[in-house]
Structure 1
Amino acid sequence: MNSAVLSSRPAPRASLLLPALLACYVIWGSTYLAIRLALVSFPPFFQMGTRFLAAGVLLMAWVAWKRRPLPTVAQWRNALVIGTLMLGGGMGLVASAGQHIGSGLIAAFIAIVPMLVCGWGLLFGQRPSRLEFAGMAVGVAGVLLLVQGASFSAAPVGMACIAGATLAWSLGSVLSTTRLPLAAGPAGFASEMLCGGAVLMLISLALGEQFTAPPQPQALAAWLYLVVFGSLIAFSAYLYLLANASPAMATSYAFVNPVIALFLGVAFASEAVSNGEWLACGVILFGVFLIFRGKTANGPG
């Protein structure tokens, strides 16, 4: 991001920065528990597919109502690839992992995404700094500690799902900023959600997912929460932070989400986290912090 552009921006309203930060911290941190609650009635890929299709339709309708530019054919193609990776593979497998592993530990494992982004970036000529390399090494050590815990060792299918999810999400993140850019602003997010949601529904159909009973009220409320708060409000808050705050502030949610997810999982879903798993989560977050410092030390803003 160009520092001249940053310096020419009008000063953001301080009253909106805090709510936007809290939205990214609390809402995104709570979506892992909401995914688990929705799984009671909604199969994983169907849950995610309908969530992103609903949010994508609402957001694209807003873009059209505001007469904002719609994505081009090339940008729709990019959205299909990115949506397939980040939402079809990433979020679909996260929901699948939620059937086997606690939501808090899933969020802690997903904290390694910045490390994987650095790794994928090597293939596209993005050489990490020494501090970023150190953060990747610390993060890998934390992951090795985490997967030794009882929660992961007892659920190899869940482990495979969350590993695949992080690989797909991080690759999609790198491609979206290098080779396959999306349309600018809300139109890009909407096109990604529509394409990813369609792919998720195709996967759900191929797997033969189906309802065994009408949705329970708690599961339906969790699904609505994911659509309105997780996909629309939190994404809008993140876009606001990207436009009005420093990159460091906008991406600081990566440190907070796992902590909130772990707390909510223990407090409201009776999820068990051992002392060793808490330690591993701390090591992973320290690795993310080192990568974060490496990026902010070398990047503008």
Structure 2
Amino acid sequence: MNRHTFIKNSLLAGTALVSGIATPITASASNPKKEKPFHMKFSPEFGIFKELPGKDIIDQIKWGYDQGFRAWENTWLTRRPVEEQERISKTVQQLGMEFGQFVGTMNFKEPTFAGRDQSIRDNVLKEIRASVEIAKRMNTKYIHNVLGMADPKLPWDFQMANAIELLKRAAAIYEPHGIAMVMETMNHKINHPGMFLHAIPQAYAMAKAVGSPSLKILFDFYHVQIQEGNIIPTLDYAWDEIGYMQIGDTPGRNEPTSGEVNFVNVLQHVHDKGYRGFMGMEHGINRPGKEGERAALAAYRAVDPK
């Protein structure tokens, strides 16, 4: 093949990959090939991919396996009936996949951890106890609990003390079961003004104060980039207290390569440091329809560590 032909063919192949015109990735009678597993434990959420696999949740999991995903997660799992949770868990385990985080307690209106209202705090502990049985049903060791709003009526150090005390009680509930609660920092600048936990150094200080393997940080690249930036040094400093990661580019909170974060470098750095845990896909798709979903799959292949 001459140089002109080689360059022409390479450009055509590259265009097809980006635009989603390439050979369909889904396994079918005409294309029975399944994609090789990703090196990183990318963990889709229901509804991220819905045009290619269809809207049925079990079909989405099976389709995801065919694309090379070996994990799954579902933030709103507790809102699903027990029977549906069992179907999800059975499918994941039959395929040899792993189930990651779900949310045990979530409140975006009240100071659940930072405040001192005893009825609110008691309800948090009630939901945390209930989340243990769901984690057993799903065969997962990770529960994501949201720390609620800041309390503007209290000095900051009082709020920190209140949160640490309640986190210690939560960790004591999870420890006998080998479960880790993960807490996510949520940015104040765009999505969640007024949330108590909003910065990695704050989460790190609380994790150190509690000192339990059942309390770790959920490092969400989208939130960290918006609130703090300086992703790699921040990640390195907090490394020993990070238990879970989620991905999303900014602006837009869509798939990697759709925004400003260099996920090729960031994810390779994470992989080189030895992280083999979940990388939750906490985002939308930059372009609508099947073409957008194929482009998102191609983006994950492009940023998957070597």
Q: TM-score, normalised by structure 2?
A: 0.23
Structure number with the higher strand fraction is 2
- Which has the higher Rg, Structure 1 or Structure 2? 2
Structure number with the higher helix fraction is 1
